[in-house]
Amino acid sequence: MNATTRYTLASLILLFGLGFFVATPGAVLPFWRAEFGILGEMAAFFNLQLLGLLLGVGLATRLRRRHPVVPLSAAVLAAAYLAMGLAPSFAWVVAAAGVGGVAQGVLNVHANGLVGELHPRTRVLMLNRVNAAFGVGAVVAPLWLTWLPWRLGFVLAALGWLAAAGMAWGAPEVRERVGRLSLGLLRRALPLLGAVGLYVAVEASISAWSGTYLTELGYPVRLAGALLAGYWLLLTASRLGLARWVAADPLGRLYRLTLASLAVLLALAWPPLAPLFPLVAVFYGPIFGTSFAALQGRFGQELTAGMFYAAAVGGTLGPALFAALPGPRWIPLGFVVLGALLLLALRRAREV
């Protein structure tokens, strides 16, 4: 196996693991509640994980040497999973979430960045393909951690992270740099960074609030859950299925897909069509990988970190804003507003 194949495969495995990591809390929360008697304490879990994530992203942009940073970060996540699996109290779980968040931030930047550098001519295609692994990890985590005894599931996941660390051993240092980081460079990148933040905002808002909207309309809770799983599966399938088509004109085709998505979002306001919300994933799947490729190619590795800051803000503020709506029937309007803002941001990004 040559170095390019090995490190591409390593990045794919790391992104699968990151998807698994993101989906872990939702999968095991019922078990944690039964074991530790917690609920409000989850706020500390998520806040510490987010703080660690932001710190890790910042560190990744300042550390140009991927070795030993990347394999060590994978090993840290192995230790975090082991600590959570063997935790005698929930305080251990919270501490592991913070430490794991730092490793998550480092790997988010470097696993994506490495693929972009290994495949400069097919950057958009390859980044969308490996990011599909993130979605697969997010789908596998709830099955893995609910079908197995949850503590055993964590210990086995830790072994998987150790294997990923071995695959990533010796990863090459960051090569690409497009000029010096400056205010002018940041200003040019802002529309694309804004598009990423808005994309994550609408993606996370649909994930968080579509079930509430459907149950308000009288649809069964189980149907809402099944449709949400379908939403994540379609996001993954879209990244794979549309990757080559989007690569021919990355930002232009993202713009067209987002324009088409508005038709689905508008249709959700009519109750009989509300269960069609997973279809919006078909149009949104390629946005993240394609945006990363565009940022890396135009502005260099330093500004790709901005994507993860923008994603953190969008993923937090987007769903939170829906709590201010007058009632659940207004939820589709919120989706449409975010989708329209995303369209405007992509239009501006095409012009820069």
Query: In the chain, what are the domains?
Result: 3-167 (1.20.1250.20), 183-351 (1.20.1250.20)
Enter the tokens of residue 68: 């030993």
Q: What is the pLDDT of residue 182?
A: 62
pTM score, whole prediction: 0.82
Whole-number Å distance between alpha carbons of 277 and 281: 8
How far separated are the first and last CA of the chain, in Å rounded? 40
In angstroms, what CA-CA distances link 335 with 287, 311, 328, 342?
A: 17, 17, 12, 11
Residue 270 Cα to chain centre, angstroms: 29
Enter the tokens of residue 85: 């699996």
- In the block, tokens 């599966």 appear at 233
Q: How many residues does the chain have?
A: 352
Please report how many Cα atoms fall inside a 13 Å half-sphere around the Cα of residue 118, on the Cβ side.
24
Which of 335, 352, 351, 313 lies closest to 258 in space, CA to CA? 335
CA quadruple 180, 182, 184, 190: dihedral positive or negative?
A: positive
Q: What is the pLDDT of residue 179?
A: 47
- Strands (E) across 137-291 are located at none
Whole-number Å distance between alpha carbons of 264 and 28: 32
* CB contact at 8 A, 213 and 328: yes
* CB contact at 8 A, 241 and 250: no
Whole-number Å distance between alpha carbons of 293 and 331: 32
Q: Which residues of the chain have pLDDT under 70?
A: 176-183
